[in-house]
Chains A and B, each alone.
Chain A
Amino acid sequence: MPLLEVGPLSGGYGDADVFTDVSFSLGVGEIVTLAGTNGSGKSSLVKAILGLLPRTRGSVRFDGAEIAGWSVGERARRGIGYVPQVANVFPSLTVHENLQVIGVDDQRQRIAETYAAFPALEARKRNRAGSLSGGERQQLAIARVLISRPRLIILDEPTANLSPLLVNQVFDIIQRLPSPGVGVLLVEQRAREALAISARGIIMEAGRVCAAGPARELLADGDLARRFLGQYA
Chain B
Amino acid sequence: MSSGQWIANQVLNGLVEGLVVALVALAITLVYAIARFSNAATGDYLTFGAYVTKGAATWTGSLAAGFVAGMVATALLSVFFYGWVFRRLLQRSHVIALVASIGVAFFIRHTMTLFTGHEPFVFDVPIVRAWNINGLLLQPTDVAVAVAGVASLGLVFALLHFTALGRHMRAVADNVDLARSSGIDTDRVMIALWLLIGAIAAIAGTLVGLKSVIHPEMGWDLLLPGFAAAILGGFASPIGAVVGGLVIGLTHELAAPFVGYSYKLAVSFLIILAFLLWRPGGLFGRVEEVR
A interface residue numbers (CB < 8 A to B): 50, 52, 71-73, 75-77, 82, 84, 87-93, 97, 100-103, 130, 144, 148
Contacts and interface: CB of A to CB of B under 8 A. Distances in A.
Contact of A91 (B181, B182, B289): B289
A90 B174 CA distance: 6
B177 interface: yes
Given A73-B180, A73-B185, A130 B289 contact: yes
Contact of A93 (B171, B180, B183, B289): B171
A129 to B, nearest CB: 9
B110 interface: no
Interface string B164-192: 10011011011101111111111000000
A84 to B, nearest CB: 7
B181 A76 contact: yes
Nearest to A72: B180
B169 to A, nearest CB: 10
B143 interface: no
Contact of A144 (B174, B182, B289): B182
Interface string B184-204: 111000000000000000000
Interface residues of B, number: 20
B290 interface: yes
A84 B178 contact: yes
B181 A92 contact: no
Given A52-B181, A100-B164, A93 B170 contact: yes
B168 A50 contact: no
Given A52-B177, A91-B289, A92-B290, A76 B171 contact: no
B290 to A, nearest CB: 6
A40 to B, nearest CB: 22
Interface string B233-264: 00000000000000000000000000000000
Nearest to A88: B178
A101 B289 contact: no
A92 B173 contact: yes
A9 to B, nearest CB: 19
B85 to A, nearest CB: 23
Nearest to B236: A92
Contact of B181 (A72, A89, A100, A103): A72
Interface string B280-291: 000000000110
A76 B164 CA distance: 18
Contacts of B179: 90, 101
A101 B290 contact: no
A73 B186 contact: yes
Given A50-B181, A72-B180, A76-B182, A100 B167 contact: yes
B184 A73 contact: yes
A92 B289 contact: yes
A88 B289 CA distance: 15
Contacts of A84: 177-178, 181
Contacts of B182: 76, 101-102, 144
Of residues A84, A101, A148, which shows the largest number of chain B Cβ atoms within 10 Å of its Cβ? A101
A98 to B, nearest CB: 8
Given A52-B177, A130-B289, A90 B183 contact: no
A91 B174 contact: yes
Contacts of A103: 164, 183-184
12 contacts: A50-B181, A72-B181, A73-B185, A84-B177, A84-B178, A87-B175, A92-B289, A97-B170, A100-B167, A101-B167, A101-B171, A103-B164
A89 to B, nearest CB: 8
Which 6 A-B pairs rank lowest in CB-CB distance, beginning with the nearest? A76-B183, A90-B174, A72-B180, A77-B183, A82-B181, A90-B171
Of residues A52, A73, A75, A76, which shows the largest number of chain B Cβ atoms within 10 Å of its Cβ? A73
B184 A101 contact: yes
B158 to A, nearest CB: 14
Contacts of B181: 50, 52, 72-73, 75-76, 82, 84
A94 to B, nearest CB: 10
A81 to B, nearest CB: 8
A14 to B, nearest CB: 14
A52 B177 CA distance: 8
Contacts of B177: 52, 72, 84, 87
A90 B178 contact: yes
A2 to B, nearest CB: 22
Contacts of A50: 181
Contacts of A93: 167, 170-171, 174
Contacts of A75: 181
A87 B178 contact: yes
